[in-house]
Structure 1
Amino acid sequence: MKKFAIIGASGYIAPRHMKAIKDTGNKLVSAYDINDSVGIIDSISPDSEFFTDFERFQEHAFRLKRNVSTALDYVSICSPNYLHHAHITAGLRLGCDVICEKPLVPTSELLDELLLVESETGNKLFNILQLRHHQAILNLKKKVASESNPHKYEVDLTYITSRGKWYMESWKGDPRKSFGVATNIGVHFYDMLHFIFGKLQKNVVHYTSEHKAAGYLEYEKARVRWFLSIDANDLPLSVKGKKPTYRSITVNNEELEFSEGFTDLHTISYEEILANRGYGIEDARHCVETVETIRASKISVAANGENHPFLKSLNL
């Protein structure tokens, strides 16, 4: 039984990590968050310590470290994006392996810094890249890899996840903390595209605002038009007023159905990490570089065939 701590225990994604810890037969020993809405701990590990001050959390972890029978094995990071780097390095320096949500960090330079901390501490950092474990994604990857006549697939990625006014008042609405909508809600899709279609060859941004972004990515085996939004007004008429979220990926005009099968992906990720088959820093580099380029890019006029269909609705 491995002993875990969680940083960011009251966040949206933290319950999936807590469930994964429990489902893999391990124990949540300690948790930290500046907010105290963490009642879910009662149903997972009611004996877990909980702190709202990072200094007290860290000191408790150092005390546990004195004895091999109590020392933490893993620290799971579910905190806001801009705190990942600091929390990852703290976990590594506590003598623990670290499991962190996406994006690990905003830049490739900080990835290199994390490699240094790994080498200094001898501990490992793992990234949750859960879509790589989704069966529909694995099936498509296998199909693409088996093509005897290689060609570039035509892909449209559309993800609209409606968010209320609270979003812009939270850290997620602050680009200094979330790194913008393309990074915050898109980074796992960019990782998925690289996982299936290979290295990125072209990265163009056609539109960006605090609520939505669109562009074009060309991979070794795919041409991808993408559109991401948190604005409910962008929802297609077929789902508007019925569902708050619209997720669509078409490959050569055929819909890739992967709306189901998400429930246990974090648990599968934990199982792989615990079996020493987890995804590390270099696995995450491609998607970090992709969003880093998107944030730094100037807006370009969409070339013929590279514009996402939803761009028309923006009256560009």
Structure 2
Amino acid sequence: MKNFTQIGAAGYIAPRHMKAIKETGNNLVAAFDPNDSVGIIDSYFPDADFFTEFERFDRHIDKLRRRGQGVDYVAICSPNYLHDAHIRFALRSQAHAICEKPLVLNPWNVDALAEIEAESDTRIYNILQLRLHPAIRALREKVAAAPKDKIFDVDLTYLTSRGHWYHASWKGDVQKSGGVATNIGVHFYDMLGWVFGPVKHSVVHIHDADVAAGYLEYDRARVRWFLSINADYLPEQAKAAGKRTYRSIMIGDEELEFSEGFTDLHTVSYQDILSGGGFGLEEARACIETVFNIRQARPVGLTGDYHPFCARVKGR
């Protein structure tokens, strides 16, 4: 049994990490979050210590280490802009870091972490769970088996509605979250790069606070993408069914069916890491570069090969 601690316990994704720690037969000894609405801990590790001040949490983890009861892994579910600092804390604590995506916001942060990791006996892992989804793995095999000159045409559409709270939180601050393309899209860009190869060309058509869209040309694919948190842009059939989320990946005229199996992928990710696998800094680099370049790009508007949903965006 390994000892875990968790940074970030009150957010949306934190329970998936607690569940993964529990289901892999390990123990959460302590958690930190500046917010104290963390009753979810009782469902998994009611005996875990909890801190709302990082300084006291830091002292506690150091005390455990000096007693020979140090943690083996630090699960990081904090706001995106804090990942870099919390990964450094994990390595200073002589623990492996398991960090939510995006690992960091800027490509140069990867280089700096690589230096620190090289000086350490511990590793940095990124949760890139779509790489473990059976449908995505099958797609990668299909692409690899296709003629080498075959270029796939892909439409990626992902809408996950969010209320007014989103813009008032750290997620609505581009300096803290990286913006909507980074916050809700980074794992899709990782998946696309893993399946279709390196990015060759990128165009951004729209990049607002609640919607982003563009075109990415990979080694083996031409991808039109559309991401939004605005429920107004949902397809009519989704609205009629009362759905708040819509996810679609069209490859040519075929829909990639991968709607099932999402809830357990964090546990599968933990099993992979604990058995000697896992995705490290270099695996995370490409998607970090992709979202960074999207943030820096100047939107060109509705010109060229843009995603059909762009016509739904007000003022376009």
TM (norm. structure 2) is 0.97
Structure 2 matches for 1:133-282, cutoff 5 A? 133-148=132-147, 150-241=149-240, 242-282=242-282
Kindly provide the CA deviation profile for residues 202-232 of structure 1, in whole angstroms up to 9, marking residues without a partner as x: 1110111000000000111100000000000
CA distance in 1, matches of 2:309, 2:158: 11
Q: Determine the structure 1 residue equivalent to 2:71.
A: 72
Shift of 1:303: 5.1
Q: Classify the secondary structure of the residue corresponding to 2:171.
A: helix
CA distance in 2, matches of 1:301, 1:39: 45
Kindly provide the CA deviation profile for residues 9-36 of structure 1, in whole angstroms up to 9, marking residues without a partner as x: 1111010000000100100001000011
Shift of 1:276: 1.5
Counterpart code for 2:248: S
- Does 1:62 pair with 2:62? yes
- Does 1:107 pair with 2:73? no
Shift of 1:275: 1.2
Q: Determine the structure 2 residue equivalent to 1:84.
A: 83
Identity of aligned residues (%): 58
CA distance in 1, matches of 2:268, 2:19: 11
Q: Determine the structure 2 residue equivalent to 1:44.
A: 44
- Does 1:23 pair with 2:23? yes
CA distance in 1, matches of 2:279, 2:168: 33
CA distance in 2, matches of 1:138, 1:263: 17
Determine if contact 2:124/2:280 at 8 Å carries over to the other structure.
yes
CA distance in 2, matches of 1:126, 1:193: 19
Shift of 1:255: 0.7
Q: Determine the structure 2 residue equivalent to 1:2.
A: 2
Shift of 1:149: 5.1
Shift of 1:313: 2.1
| More deviation, 29-38/294-303 | 294-303
Equivalent pairs, count: 314
CA distance in 1, matches of 2:301, 2:151: 22
Q: Classify the secondary structure of the residue corresponding to 1:215.
A: strand
Q: Classify the secondary structure of the residue corresponding to 1:11.
A: coil
CA distance in 1, matches of 2:311, 2:277: 43
Q: Classify the secondary structure of the residue corresponding to 2:112.
A: helix
Determine if contact 2:302/2:310 at 8 Å carries over to the other structure.
no
Structure 1 segments (4+ residues) deviating >6 Å:
none
Unaligned runs of 5+ in 2: none
Q: Determine the structure 2 residue equivalent to 1:296.
A: 296
Q: Classify the secondary structure of the residue corresponding to 2:116.
A: helix
Q: Determine the structure 2 residue equivalent to 1:286.
A: 286
- Does 1:94 pair with 2:113? no
Q: Determine the structure 1 residue equivalent to 2:115.
A: 116
Distance 1:254 1:14, change over 3 A: same
CA distance in 1, matches of 2:106, 2:302: 26
Q: Classify the secondary structure of the residue corresponding to 1:240.
A: helix
Determine if contact 2:205/2:303 at 8 Å carries over to the other structure.
no
CA distance in 2, matches of 1:95, 1:240: 49
CA distance in 2, matches of 1:33, 1:253: 45
- Does 1:132 pair with 2:131? yes
Q: Classify the secondary structure of the residue corresponding to 2:243.
A: coil
Kindly provide the CA deviation profile for residues 173-194 of structure 1, in whole angstroms up to 9, marking residues without a partner as x: 1111111000000000000000
CA distance in 1, matches of 2:189, 2:159: 15
CA distance in 1, matches of 2:70, 2:7: 16
CA distance in 2, matches of 1:303, 1:309: 12
Kindly provide the CA deviation profile for residues 40-80 of structure 1, in whole angstroms up to 9, marking residues without a partner as x: 11121111000000001110000110133x11000000001
CA distance in 2, matches of 1:169, 1:227: 23
Counterpart code for 1:78: C
Counterpart code for 1:183: T
Q: Determine the structure 2 residue equivalent to 1:53.
A: 53
Counterpart code for 2:123: K
Q: Classify the secondary structure of the residue corresponding to 1:238.
A: helix
Shift of 1:120: 2.4
Q: Determine the structure 2 residue equivalent to 1:11.
A: 11
Q: Classify the secondary structure of the residue corresponding to 2:239.
A: coil
